[in-house]
Amino acid sequence: MNRKEITKPFQVEIESKQKQKIEVKMGREVSESCVDSLLTEMVSTYCNRFYANKPELAARRIEAIGYQVGHQLSERYTMERPRFSDHLEAIKFICKDFWSELFKKQIDNLKTNHRGTFVLQDNGFRWLSRISLDPSLENAESQDPSASTESKAAQATSMHLYFPCGIIRGALSNLGIPCAVSADISNLPACSFVVRIKA
């Protein structure tokens, strides 16, 4: 009788662990190319259809969508871990676990000035890996070597970065860190996100 009483809770614990395992196994998967297409389509819809003449407004809308996504994802991905004690720990979580969940790789380089600015560098950012300059633009460039076409291409690329910027900002602000996030493209598949924490 007594023995039964003692073993029961353990059984419950094992059962719940088995359930957890099943839940882990059944983690939902998303097709990469679908996400790529969705992102491209979203950017082009906002830039060319909804706010064709106001790129700042389009950028803000795309960033806002990213913010909501990051806000929700951070809740889900921090579920099984203890609370963060400082900003650096939260940023590290973004670099390691959060990034692995999103892109199956970690941030390659993290720099900080220890005064609230962090630079997260990804040497092969997945959402930029398929981006190339429009051939018609490149032809135009060879005929007319002006800087305007190049800047146009850079602008189109940077439009695709407002969404991941929003994701980072949403995730961090949900973790209690209000901040501003901007992106910087140096050479194409590599890109760095600059996080400035608001005091």
Partner 1 sequence: MIVCVAVVGHQNNPLYIQSFTEADDALKLHHIVHCSLDVVDERVNNPKKSGPTLNETFLGLLYPTENYKVYGYLTNTKVKFIIVATDLDVRDADVRNVDIALLRCNNASCLSPFFRRFHAAYVDAVSNPFHVPGKKITSTTFAERVSTIVKSFGLSSAG
Position 21 contacts partner 1 (CB under 8 A): no
Q: From CA 111, how far away is CA 119, in angstroms rounded?
A: 5
Least distance in angstroms from the C-beta of 31 to partner 1? 19
The token pair at 159 is 């439009």
Q: Which residue lies nearer to partner 1 by CB, 77 or 103?
A: 77
- The helix/strand/coil state of 42 is helix
Q: What radius of gyration, in Å, describes the C-alpha atoms of the chain? A: 21
Q: Which residue lies nearer to partner 1 by CB, 72 or 106?
A: 72
Position 134 contacts partner 1 (CB under 8 A): no
Among 32, 41, 75, 134, binds partner 1 (CB under 8 A): 75
Q: Which of 164, 134, 180 is nearest to 42 (CA)?
A: 164
**27-35, 65-73, 100-108, 180-188 -> range binding partner 1 (CB under 8 A):** 65-73
Q: Which residue lies nearer to partner 1 by CB, 149 or 169?
A: 169
* Phi/psi at 197 (5° precision): -80, 130
